Structure formats: C-alpha cells, structure tokens
Amino acid sequence: MAEQKIPYKIYLSEDEIPKQWYNVRADMKTKPAPLLNPATLEPMTFDDLRPVFCDELVKQELDDDTAYIDIPLDIQDFYRMYRPAPLVRAYCLEKKLQTPAKIYYKFEGNNTSGSHKLNSAIAQAYYAKKQGLKGVTTETGAGQWGTALSMACSYFDLDCKVYMVKVSYEQKPFRREVMRTYGASVTPSPSDTTNVGRQILERYPGTTGSLGCAISEAVEVATTNEGYRYVLGSVLNQVLLHQSVIGLETKAAMDKYNITPDIIIGCAGGGSNLGGLISPFMGEKLRGEKNYDIIAVEPASCPSFTRGKYAYDFCDTGMVCPLAKMYTLGSGFIPSANHAGGLRFHGMSSTLSQLYHDGYMRAVSVEQTSVFEAAEQFARVEGILPAPESSHAIRVAIDEALKCKETGEEKTILFGLTGTGYFDLVAYQKFNDGEMSDYIPTDEELQKSFDSLPKVDK
C-alpha cells in the first residue's frame, strides 16, 4: 500500500514496550523545587525520606539528572500482562463531530484496576519487595490507586494495608471488594488502629474522613511497623517517572505511523497521568526540538493550576508530610460535595507546576456537567464508558476538534484516556437523572484557603 492506513487501535508488540523510564527533570533548565523538611525548612535528604519510602524510590525521587532509568525485568514482565496499551484513533468520534481534526487517545483502562495507576503501583511494590520489606501502606479515596496497589502487591506476595476514606469505604463497597479479592486489608479511615486516627475520632466523632487523614494514618503505620513503607499514587517525582511509560509508548506508536500531535491533552489532579503522557513530548519541547500545544485540564471546582498560588504547601491536610512547591489551593481546600470523580487534590505535582510556571504548557478548567456530556457522547460512539477524570480531557479534545471544524484545520489531537467509569456509576446516574450541578469556588473561598499556606520564604 502506498498510503499507510492508520488502524483503529495501534498496538505495539511486546518487544516495543519501553525498557527505560524517562525522567523529564533531566531536561528541565529550572528544576522543580525540592521537598522541604517541615521542621527545618531545609531540602529533604535521602536519610530524611528513607523511613517513609523505599530506598530506591527515594533515589528516584531526588534524582533530577538521570534522563533514562532502566525498568527492572520483573516490572517489564508485569507490564506485559496489560501493556502495551492501545493508542486508539477515534474515527467514530471524528465522524460524529464532523471535524477535519484527527483525534487519538491512549487508553490506560484495560486492566482490572481500571486506570493508569497500575504503572506506578507495580514499580513501587517491586522496590519494596526487592528491599525485603513485608508490606506497604497507602491511602485511597475513590479507590483506583488502592485497587492498583492491591493488584501489584498480590503479584509480589507483599502485604498491602489500605486506608480508605470512610465515606468511600461505605459508598463504594465494590471498589473495596476488588481490593479484598486481591488480598489487601482495607480499613475505613479514620480508624482506631492508629494514634492519629484515634485523635481525629475523638476530636470529630462521626466524621466520614478525608484523604489527608487517611494519608496520616497510612504514614503512621508505615513508619511505626518494622518492614513497612508508605507509597503514594500521584504528585511525587517517582510516580511521574513510572508513568512516563504512557507517553513513551504513545510516542513510539505515533512514530511508527509518522503521526505528530499538534495538541496534547490530559486531565490533571495530582498530575500522574498528565505527567506520564506528556513526558517524552515535553522532553522534545524542553530541548527545543519540537513544539506542542500541551493542555492540562482540571475541574472548575478544584482549579489548582488556573486559580491556585505557586507556593510551598503541605501535601496532606494532617501536615505531617514534607512541604512541596506547587500550584495549590491550600492544604485545607476540599472540593464541594457535588464534585464527582477524582481530581480533587489541592495541589499539583512540583514538576508539572514548574513546567507550567515556565510556560511549557497551559491549563483550562471545565465544569462537570459539560464533562459528563462529553463522556456520554464519547461512550456512545467509541464504546468505552470513560472515567469522570478522563472525561475532563475528552471535553477539551472535543472542544478543540470543534474549533478545527470552524477553521477547517486538520490538527492532530492526542488525549489521555486514563481509565474506565465502571465504579463511577453513581455519578453517571446523577447525570442521567438531570441531578448533576456545577460548582465554582468563589474568590473569597479561595482566599480563605490561601490564608492557611505555610510561610516559607522560598
């Protein structure tokens, strides 16, 4: 064939799954600001971090220089169970929109955890196993990360203790059961199994919990039990490193068919998906080799990039974790109760924050009813029920494709479809019943939250 027809789904062969992760920090002229010790306000050192994280992960967290890091063979083996993930040409969506744009999405939902989180979970579990640990602890809100981690720990026969925000524990029993099926112990947080949990229960009897509280419990258990470490599913440098497999695979698939994206779109909560998807493209942009229009999409109800401050802040509401410099809404910010799905973290990965600050990407915020409209439109023609998180990216991809329809431009649009919405049907039901509403925090609300930012002169 003279002209190469692009298939609906581009699958790399297993040999083509990346064998190295790419560390975008190596190509950044201005490195992301370091984590600070909350007691001394000095940069966290290897020794500061090793009681909390595995040694090898601390090294990755602190390494701003090594561009490529080998993916251990055991992780490569595991990746073969669910990777390569398909890069899909959205022919049916293009046709529906009658757009000259070419739309591609990288689909990371084809595994039981239902999202890209597994890419980092397996890496973190591997290093814990390699260090001879007994197990790991973590928190989970909606449950994607907890599920991914329980799958990874099951594979390596590691104990997995998940602190699940109590309201989710009760409202998402199915997520909980998947984790239990993979052998994890799941404790509703706050619980009476930790000091911090007991204190919170005493102070706020009947509380339904928060992610910040669950983090504090998980960290306490990890640091007070021999042979345990704490693991986190987003925000951290190490997580973005592991997630670079998304972007590397995407780029390899595109290169194979001589496709160059004009626009790259990802949803952004803590930044793990966006950071992973864009990493090799951002590398080219940082090195001045290529230019891409890179767009972070966040919910209007939790707008850390578009309305947050670039400042040092706590990563958790319990204020036990190190300080990170990031676009933040303040560690006390909690999105309105009507906010569906994830993307509810108050801050954004330090790496992405620096890149955004330096003008290498832009951000837009979208309201949730328009997000679910896009989700429904996508589901009906592309056959995948998308996660609410991913649907933020779909919304903007559709908007950009419709702009092309206006202008006649044949732009190539790439977005990340991070996962499926099988465990988010309460939100879909609200949408189907016309009971979903939008919420945008007022300037006054945000200002009040900013007032709680720690005073750090860096």
Asked whether the CA dihedral 344, 349, 352, 356 is positive or negative, the reply is positive
Select 9 or 31, whichever has its Cβ closest to its own copies: 9
- Which one, 11 or 450, has the nearer CB to its own copies? 11
Buried b (16+ CB within 10 A) or exposed e, 328-338: bbbbbbbbbee
For its own copies, give the closer residue by CB, 83 or 325: 83
3 state DSSP class of 220? helix
Q: How far is the CB of 435 from its own copies (least distance, A)?
A: 12
Residue nearer to its own copies on the CB measure, 92 or 334: 92
Closest listed residue to residue 404, CA positions, set 291, 293, 306: 293
Q: How far is the CB of 261 from its own copies (least distance, A)?
A: 21
H helix count then E strand count, the chain: 18, 15
Cis link prior to 190 (omega < 30° from 0)? Answer: yes
Nearest distance from C-beta of residue 410 to its own copies, angstroms: 22
Q: Is 80 exposed, middle or buried (0-12, 13-18, 19+ CB in 10 A)?
A: exposed
Cα 38–344–75 angle (5° rounding)? 80
Q: How far is the CB of 383 from its own copies (least distance, A)?
A: 5
Amino acid at 450: F
Structure tokens that stand for 419 in this block: 């996962």
Least distance from its own copies to the Cβ atom of residue 103, Å: 14
Residue with smaller CB distance to its own copies, 249 or 298: 249
CB count, 10 Å around CB of 251? 24
Strands 68-70 and 20-22, bridge-based pairing: antiparallel
Closest to its own copies by CB, 268 vs 340, is: 340
Which of 181, 437 has the CB closer to its own copies? 181
What is the smallest separation between the CB atom of 245 and its own copies, expressed in angstroms?
Answer: 16
Residue 167 tokens read as: 């309201």
Nearer to its own copies, 8 or 46 (CB): 8
Cis peptide before 7 (omega within 30 of 0): no
Burial of 157 (0-12, 13-18, 19+ CB in 10 A): exposed
Distance, in Å, from the CA atom of 362 to the CA atom of 396, rounded to the nearest integer, reads 12
Interacting residue ranges for its own copies, rule: CB under 8 A = 7-9, 11, 13-14, 80-82, 92, 110-112, 114, 151, 154-155, 173-174, 177-178, 180-183, 376, 379-385, 420, 422-423, 425, 428-429, 431-432
182 vs 314, beta carbon nearer its own copies: 182
- Provide the minimum distance between the beta carbon of 142 and its own copies in the complex, in angstroms, as a whole number: 15
Q: How far is the CB of 384 from its own copies (least distance, A)?
A: 5
Cβ 186 to its own copies, closest distance in Å?
10
